[in-house]
Every structure is written in C-alpha cells, then in structure tokens.
C-alpha cells in the first residue's frame, strides 16, 4: 500500500483552506448543492488530487464543450464505472511509481458518482473497488435522489412518493414511486469487512464534510462517502433553501450522519443528539411540505412516511442505520 | 402569408411550463385557422438548469413545406416576436450551451415586437437592451415576473396575458377569437379567457429606434474546432488562484473565462461589510465559488460569476448583512468591496436605499411550501388582478 498525504483534521470553520480546486463557471442550477459538494471535496483534498467523474450532472453541467471549472486534473468516466476508474487510476499511479516513471508521492484519487451512477448502475464496480484494499482511493456518491441531469427520472435513491418524470402522480394512482430509498452506506460497510471507512455526509455541514473527506483519504485503502444533496430542480424548491433542506433531512431523522471507522459506528452532529435522546426529531412534514415533488402527498401519505422514519429509529437494531430487527425470542 | 415565428426566452425550469403553455397555445390557435405550426425547445438548452436562460419557439406557416423549411434550423435566424418572461434578461442572456452573451433582441426582426413582463418603465428597459440597427416595438405587460418550478405550476394567468397581448401586437399570427378558443379548450377556465381578452385590450407598444439602448458589445468567445484542440482533446485546467487582486493576502480564485453565468441571476446579494462578523458561511456555502476573500477577512461576492441563488442570504446569521436585491437595480458587475473602500458612507446610503426598495417588492424564486402559490395568486389570477 502506498503512503497517504498529510491531511490533518480541520479544527474550526475558520481553518478551512482558502484554496479552491473547483471554481466558478459551471453550468449547474442556482443553489446546486452537488456543485458545493464538489467544491468542498476538493478543498479538503488539496491540489495533489486526481478526480474522476462518472456521467451525471457533475459531468455534463461542469465540463461542456472545451471548458472546465476544475483546477485539478479531472477525467470523465462512464456512468457505472466510478469504481473501476478509481481502482485503475490508483493502480496505474502505483505501477508508474514502482517502475520509476513517476516521482514517488502520495496522490489522492477520488471518483465521484451520482445516485444513478453509484446507487444504481455502478454498485458492482464500487463493491469491487472496496475489496481491493491495496489501493488508496475514495468514491464519493453525490445523491440528489434522481437522475437529475436528464430531467429527474427515478433512481434507486429516490424517496417514496416523490414526483418525477418516471413517477408522475395521477388521479387514480397518486403514489407512483413505491420503493423506499436504498440504504447505500450500510450496505457497503457491512458487505466489505476490510473497507476501513464508510461515511454519510451533507454539504450543509461544511466543516464536517471537509473532515470526512480528509479521514477517507488518509485512513488507507478504498473508502466510500455517501452525501445527500438537495436539488432545487428535481425537489422543486427555491434555490436559497438548499442549505436549509439539507439540515432538515438530518433534523427530521430521515438522513443519518455517521462514520464507520474500522467497523466502529460513530454518529455525528444532530444525528448523534437524536440517537442519545438529547434532541427530538422534527416532524417529517417540515421537510416534505417544503418541496414541490411531495406537493401531492395527502395527510395519510405523510403519516405513512413518518411511521417509516419512526420505525427506523425505534425498532431497528442499529437505530437509523441498519434495517434489521432483533428477534426477541432469540435473546 | 408567410411564416410567423415567435420565441419565448425564459428562465430554465422556473418558467419551463409557462413557456410551454405559450408556444403550445399559439400552435393550437393557428390550427383553428387552418394553418400549420409547431412548438419546440432549443436543443442546446436541454437538460435545463434552474435560472439559466433558455428558449422555446412556436412557428406557424400556411403549409407544411414552408414550416419544414424553418424547422431545419437549430434556432430561428429571426423571429417576428420575442417574448421575454423575466425583465432582468433584458440585459442579455448566456445560455448554458451557448458561448457568450446574446442580446435579448438579437433575433427580433426589423419592425418586430419584443414583449416583456415587467413592472419597470419602458425607458429603463430600453437602457438595458443592446442597441440594434433596425427599429422594433417594445410591449410591456405590467405584471410581477412569474416563477414556479418543475412540478407545481403557479397559475397566475401570465401565460394567457401574454397570449392576449401577442394577438394584438402580431395580428398576422392568429386572431384573438382563435386564441381565446384555444385557451378555453386547453385550460377549461373562463377566467383565464377573460384575462387574455383584457390583456389584448390593454396592449400598447413603445417604438424603439435604431441605435437606442445599451451601446456595450456583448462578450463572445471563439469555440475551437477539433483540429485546434490538444492531443486527446485535453482541456487545460483553470489556473491556481492568487491573493486578493493578485496580492499576498486574502484569496481570489481564477474563474472559467468562457462561461460566466451572471445572466442566470435575477437577484444579486449586496453585503454590509460593517456588520459582517466574518463567520465564513456565505463564502463556505456558495456553490459557485463567488466570494473573493479580502485581506481583512471580508467576503466580496464576485458579480461576474454569481448566479443569484440566494444561499448566502439564507445562511448569513446577521440581519440585513447579505440581502438579495432585484437585478433590475444594477447597471454593472463592479466590486462592492471596492465601492465600500472608496466611499464607506456613500456605499452605506446606496445599500440602505436598495434594501428599503426590496422590502416593498415581491420577487420569489419558486416553491416555498405547499399552498404557498395559492396565497400568492389570490389577487393576480383574475382578469384585472395584476395590471
């Protein structure tokens, strides 16, 4: 295993590096939280980083016809191949350095994918990447809960009931997306016992986000971060609420913030306070009623949504994280 | 009659349904008169992004052959009527697959009409619009600019007001009767029909003379062909940033020089540098890397790259420290920090005035909560409501 860079944890928001690796002039929506995630990611990783991007908004909207907002080297890869591109690049760098064709130095390799590229199409390649523990790499899934680039089609990460191009509510059938959101991070953490770091994150918590990127890049081996990114286009809200909706997702207990370091679960921020009973979860309607994609939900639908969230906190073995329940008779 | 072409220039996603309602209704009305027509979006604008200017077209012809001739184009070379549904786009538009700034009236024919929904005076709008060497008419529909989103449409009758006005300023397109019939069929709402009729009655035009307007040359870029590109089609990365204004302290990123994004903005943040507590949040949470960091630790929003999302205002913990102001009140993209450095008192006065004006205006960027649109349109969704 090659060595990793010195990227100490950042103490306090005022110590976040000023240097930008992802600059202005990208063609994303106003208030695009995923663009912010790109910016925070490369801010934490620093200039000696290679970024690989699978198809999605962060490819199409950023690097159209001979222009780019990236200061660091960036390369496009196919929709389902963020995992393979990351492994290949890390292996290529290691091999070039071993043969003396490149100066020996730790270079961060980050591959990003959207929820379409990661949670749906690229799942097997990500799984393979997380098994190759001889390479240092990070796979960052920026999850805006739909195929937002191509005008909002349902993905495996879209929430129950959400309006989308593939699930328009009708007069007869109101709820067209009947699937519950895939539980991506725990699936990868439990499925890959030698993967040292899996985390969930949200761009609304900038410092926490930076530090998670740094932990992932310095712990060694392949790592994975799943970020929830409010999307003004697909979620249908005024772009100025991007930050607030990210916080609401966490404060309602729908999205849970945690790190799994060497198999140990550490909840962060509001999620930790909720788990310890210090803080009450906000009602889910505070989150749902703010978004046009849920405007068709009835009070019964919202009640069902709330019950599912309650269940995840009250009945799951690892509350909010892993959807397994204890069989009381087995105890 | 030959072909009549109409373009609708709109804010991506926010006004997509509005634009679609307009171009579709034109075609439906034309069919009632035995004409043939088609409505379509400009290919390069798709997939749309919130706020980034986009276009849809309606082309009406006497027969199929004439129509096909016009459809073989990416974008019409000239149009009889340009409809601009957000007055802040009068300053010019930079579409996301387009390079450079396109004047709002670029495609408007000599003697054609530009329809704008606005509460501004005609003379103020003409000042924003780039000069043309041929005359055209400006027709203003007095209404609050209509923004909604992808899934929930704010039906404040802006669509039918524009259609009513259109029949008056471009009589060769379709008659008012055909248009009202098409509106009735599509929306099944007599109040909307009445709104269209009233807009027809109220329509007026202000002639714009050749050479009148903004004398600035809009910025443009040369796109390299594949032969000029580097081996492997490698694109050069953006350079590393420097200190503020190239100095030692602070920080200023280098920015993408071929896409600036500022024409996406319909509101801009103004910063009170005196009450700023340097909490970093506006800078940290900006998705567009807009804020230059000054040597004294303040944050200067760069107006060449700000797209006006409003996140900085939303995250700022100090009241009125970052305030979003309607873009119509500004003439250039100059630095607020530099203005404040040069004349702190003058800056404060200017800022306070703008904040006062903004508090009396209503301008929203879309969906806030379930039921919100119903409250907003209570007044405007009736024939005389918004005039």
Q: Quick check: A118 pLDDT over 80? A: yes
ipTM of the complex: 0.95
Q: State the pLDDT at residue B1.
A: 54
Boundaries of domain holding B272: 231-256+265-360
Separation CA B356–CA B350 (nearest Å): 10
| Residue B385: per-residue pLDDT | 60
Q: Which residues of B touch A242 (CB under 8 A)?
A: 287, 309, 311
Using one digit for the tens of pLDDT, what is the confidence trace for A18-48?
Answer: 999 999 989 999 999 999 999 999 999 999 9
Q: Do A23 and B310 touch (CB under 8 A)?
A: no
Claim to verify: residue B33 and residue B169 sit in the same structural domain: yes
Give the model's pLDDT for residue A286. 97
Distance from CA of A317 to the nearest CA of B (A): 35
Q: What is the pLDDT of residue B75?
A: 79
> What is the spatial distance between Cα B225 and Cα A219, in angstroms, rounded to a whole number?
44
Check: CB of residue B386 under 8 Å from CB of residue B157.
yes
* Nearest beta carbon to residue B366 from set A20, A28, A237: A237
- pLDDT exceeds cutoff 70 at B13: yes
pLDDT greater at residue B365 or residue B32: B32
Domain co-membership, B211 together with B246: no
- A3, part of any domain: no
Calculate mean pLDDT across residues B237-250.
95
Relative to beta strand A49-54, strand A74-77 is parallel
pLDDT > 60? residue A171: yes
Facing A66 at nearest CB: one of B151, B223, B324: B223
Taking 80 as the threshold, does the pLDDT of residue A329 lie above it? no
- Number of structural domains (chain B) is 2
Residue in A29, A39, A64 nearest the CB of B50: A29
Cα–Cα separations (whole angstroms), residue A309 to A41, A159, B43, B59, B330: 29, 12, 41, 51, 47
Tell me the pLDDT tens digit for each residue of A203-237. Answer: 999 999 999 999 999 999 999 999 999 999 999 99
DSSP conformation letters of A48-115: SEEEEEESSHHHHTTS-TT---BSS-EEEE-TT-HHHHHHHHHHHHHHHHHTTSS-----EEEEEEEH
Are both B133 and B160 inside the same structural domain? yes
- Sheet with B36-41, strands from edge to edge, namely B36-41, B53-61, B4-11, B79-84, B108-118, B136-142, B206-208
B54 contacts on A by Cβ (under 8 Å)? none
CA pseudo-torsion sign A141, A142, A147, A149: negative
How many independent structural domains does chain A possess?
Answer: 1
Measure B289 CA to nearest chain A CA, in Å.
5
User: pLDDT by residue (tens digit) across B197-234?
Assistant: 999 999 999 999 999 999 999 998 888 888 888 888 88
User: Rounded to two decimals, what is the model's pTM?
Assistant: 0.96
Q: Which candidate from B99, B237, B290 shows the least CB-CB separation from A68?
A: B237
Q: Is residue A7 one of the residues assigned to a domain?
A: no
- Judged on CB neighbours under 10 Å (0-12, 13-18, 19+), B354 is middle
A110/A223 Cα distance (integer angstroms): 10
B64-82 mean pLDDT? 85
How close B264 comes to chain A (CA, Å)? 8
Tell me whether residue B329 is in a domain.
yes
Domain presence at residue B38: yes
Q: How far apart are the first and last CA of chain B?
A: 33
Q: For residue A198, give its domain range.
A: 13-325
- CA–CA gap between residue A206 and residue B51 (Å, rounded): 25
CATH code at position A83: 3.40.50.970
In a domain, B238, yes or no: yes
Q: Are residues B204 and B275 in the same domain?
A: no
- Cis bond before residue B47 (omega within 30° of 0): yes
Among A80-94, A158-172, B132-146, B359-373, the minimum mean pLDDT is found in B359-373
pLDDT at residue A161, as a whole number: 97
Chain centroid offset of residue A188 CA: 13
Indicate the SS3 state at residue A142: strand
Q: Which residues in chain A are contacts of B362 at CB distance < 8 A?
A: none
* Mean pLDDT, range A63-73, rounded to an integer: 90
Confidence of residue B382 (pLDDT cuts 50, 70, 90): confident
Residue B51 lies in a domain: yes
Nearest CA in chain B to A37: B287
Q: Is residue A331 part of a domain?
A: no
- Secondary structure of residue A301 in the 3-state scheme: helix
pLDDT of residue A330: 65
Q: Identify whether residues B17 and B156 lie together within a single domain.
A: yes
**Res A59 pLDDT > 70:** yes
H or E stretch at B84: strand B79-84
> What pLDDT score was predicted for residue A257?
98
Residue A140 falls inside a structural domain: yes
Residue A239 lies in a domain: yes
* Mean pLDDT score, B22-42: 95
Mean pLDDT of B25-33: 97
Closest residue by Cα to residue B364 from B132, B51, B40, B146: B146
* Average pLDDT score over residue span A170-182: 95
- Residue A331 — pLDDT band, cuts 50, 70, 90? low
The reply to whether residue B238 touches residue A68, judged by beta carbons under 8 angstroms, is yes
Give the distance from residue A11's alpha carbon to the nearest chain B alpha carbon, in angstroms: 14
Q: Is the pLDDT of residue A6 over 60?
A: yes
Q: What secondary structure does DSSP assign to B123-181, as a single string?
A: HHHHHHSBP-SS-EEEEEEESPPP---SS----SSHHHHHHHHHHHH-TTT--HHHHHH
Residues B214, B247: one domain?
A: no
Give yes or no for residue B387 having a pLDDT over 80: no
Q: Quick one: pLDDT at residue B384?
A: 65
**3-state DSSP assignment of residue A209:** helix
User: Is A4 within the bounds of a domain?
Assistant: no
CA–CA separation, B90 vs B127, rounded Å?
A: 9
Please answer whether residues A234 and A241 qualify as being in contact, where contact means their C-beta atoms are separated by less than 8 angstroms.
Answer: no
Residue of chain A whose Cα is closest to the Cα of B303: A24
Task: Tokens for B266, please give them.
Answer: 């319909």
In a shared domain, residues B191 and B237: no
Same domain, B201 and B270: no
* pLDDT (0 to 100) of residue B386: 56
The band of B111, judged by pLDDT with boundaries at 50, 70 and 90, is: very high
Q: Is residue B386 part of a domain?
A: no
Question: What is the helix (H) or strand (E) element at residue B54, kind and residue range?
Answer: strand B53-61
Q: Evaluate if residue B238 carries a pLDDT over 90.
A: yes
The CATH code of the domain that includes B320 is 3.30.70
When mean pLDDT is compared across A9-13, A50-54, A323-327, B33-37, the lowest value belongs to: A323-327
Is residue B162 located within the same domain as residue B248? no
Q: What is the mean pLDDT of chain A?
A: 95
Lowest average pLDDT, out of A324-328, B38-42, B117-121, B183-187, goes to A324-328
Specify whether B68 is located in the same domain as B195: yes
- From the CA of B324, how many Å to the nearest CA of chain A? 10
In this structure, what CATH number is given to the domain that contains residue B210?
3.40.920.10
Q: Is residue A225 part of a domain?
A: yes
Interface test with A, best of B151, B252, B280 (most A CBs within 10 A): B151
| CA B41 vs CA A46, A154, A164, B6, B10: distances in Å | 41, 23, 20, 12, 11
Work out the average pLDDT over B325-349: 96
- List, for residues B252-292, the tens digit of each pLDDT value: 999 998 889 999 999 999 999 999 999 999 999 999 999 99
Size of interface A-B (CB pairs under 8 A): 210
- Do residues B183 and B236 share a domain? no
Is B225 a member of any domain?
no
In contact, A172 and A255? CB cutoff 8 Å: no
Do the Cβ atoms of B265 and B307 come closer than 8 Å? yes
How many Å apart are CA A74 and CA A108, to the nearest integer? 12
Is the pLDDT assigned to residue B363 strictly greater than 80?
no
Residues B235, B183 within the same domain: no
């Amino acid at each position: 295993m090659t060595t990793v860079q010195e990227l100490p944890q950042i103490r306090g928001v005022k110590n976040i590096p000023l240097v930008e690796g992802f600059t202005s002039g990208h063609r994303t929506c106003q208030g695009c939280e995923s663009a912010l995630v790109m910016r925070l990611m490369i801010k934490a990783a620093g200039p000696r980083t290679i970024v690989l991007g699978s198809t999605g908004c962060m490819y199409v909207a950023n690097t159209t016809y001979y222009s780019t907002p990236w200061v660091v080297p960036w390369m496009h890869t196919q929709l389902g191949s963020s995992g393979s591109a990351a492994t290949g690049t890390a292996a290529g760098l290691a091999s070039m350095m071993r043969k003396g064709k490149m100066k020996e130095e730790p270079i961060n390799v980050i591959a990003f994918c959207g929820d379409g590229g990661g949670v749906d199409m690229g799942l097997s390649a990500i799984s393979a990447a997380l098994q190759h523990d001889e390479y240092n790499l990070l796979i960052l899934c920026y999850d805006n809960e739909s195929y937002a680039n191509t005008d909002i089609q349902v993905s495996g990460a879209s929430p129950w009931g959400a309006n989308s191009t593939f699930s328009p509510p009708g007069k007869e059938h109101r709820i067209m997306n009947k699937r519950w959101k895939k539980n991506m991070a725990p699936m990868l953490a439990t499925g890959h016992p030698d993967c040292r770091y899996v985390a969930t994150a949200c761009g609304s918590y900038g410092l926490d986000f930076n530090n998670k990127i740094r932990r992932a890049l310095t712990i060694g081996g392949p790592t994975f971060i799943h970020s929830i990114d409010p999307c003004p286009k697909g979620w249908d809200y005024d772009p100025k609420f991007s930050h607030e909706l990210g916080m609401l997702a966490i404060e309602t207990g729908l999205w849970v913030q945690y790190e799994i370091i060497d198999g140990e679960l550490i909840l962060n921020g509001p999620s930790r306070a909720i788990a310890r009973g210090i803080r009450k979860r906000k009602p889910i309607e505070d989150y749902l009623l703010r978004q046009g994609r849920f405007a068709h939900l009835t009070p019964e639908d919202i009640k069902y949504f709330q019950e599912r969230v309650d269940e995840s906190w009250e009945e799951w073995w690892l509350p909010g994280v892993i959807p397994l329940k204890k069989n009381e008779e087995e105890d | 009659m030959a072909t009549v072409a109409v373009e609708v220039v709109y804010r991506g996603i926010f006004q997509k349904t509005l634009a679609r309602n307009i171009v579709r209704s034109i075609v439906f009305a034309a069919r009632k008169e035995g004409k043939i027509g088609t409505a379509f979006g400009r290919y390069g604008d798709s997939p749309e992004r919130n706020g980034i200017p986009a276009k849809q077209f309606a082309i009406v012809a006497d027969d199929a052959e004439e129509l096909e001739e016009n459809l073989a184009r990416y974008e019409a070379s000239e149009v009889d009527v340009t409809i601009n549904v957000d007055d802040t786009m009068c300053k010019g538009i930079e579409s996301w697959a387009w390079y450079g700034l396109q004047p709002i009236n670029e495609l408007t024919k000599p003697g054609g009409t530009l329809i704008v929904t606005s509460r501004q005076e005609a003379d103020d709008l003409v000042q924003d619009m780039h000069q043309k060497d041929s005359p055209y008419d400006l027709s203003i529909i007095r209404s609050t600019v209509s923004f909604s989103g992808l899934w929930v449409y704010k039906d404040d009758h802006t669509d039918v007001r524009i259609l009513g006005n259109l029949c008056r300023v471009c009589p060769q397109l379709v008659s008012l009767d055909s248009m009202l019939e098409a509106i009735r069929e599509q929306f099944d709402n007599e109040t909307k029909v009445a709104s269209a009729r009233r807009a027809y009655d109220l329509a007026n035009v202000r002639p714009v003379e050749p050479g009148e307007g903004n004398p600035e040359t809009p910025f443009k870029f040369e796109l390299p062909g594949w032969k000029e590109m580097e081996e492997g089609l490698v694109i050069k990365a953006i350079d590393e940033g420097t200190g503020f204004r190239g100095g030692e302290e602070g920080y200023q990123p280098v920015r993408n020089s071929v896409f600036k994004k500022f024409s996406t903005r319909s509101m801009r943040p103004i910063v009170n540098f005196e009450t700023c507590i340097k909490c970093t949040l506006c800078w940290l949470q900006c998705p567009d890397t807009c804020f230059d960091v000054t040597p004294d630790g303040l944050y200067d929003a760069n107006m060449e790259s700000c797209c006006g999302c409003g996140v900085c205002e939303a995250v700022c913990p100090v009241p009125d420290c970052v305030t979003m102001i309607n873009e119509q009140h500004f003439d250039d993209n100059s630095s607020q920090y530099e203005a404040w450095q040069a004349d702190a008192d003058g800056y404060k006065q200017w800022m306070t005035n703008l904040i006062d004006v903004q508090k009396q205006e209503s301008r929203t960027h879309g969906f806030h909560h379930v039921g919100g649109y119903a409250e907003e349109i209570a007044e405007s969704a009736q024939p005389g409501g918004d005039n």
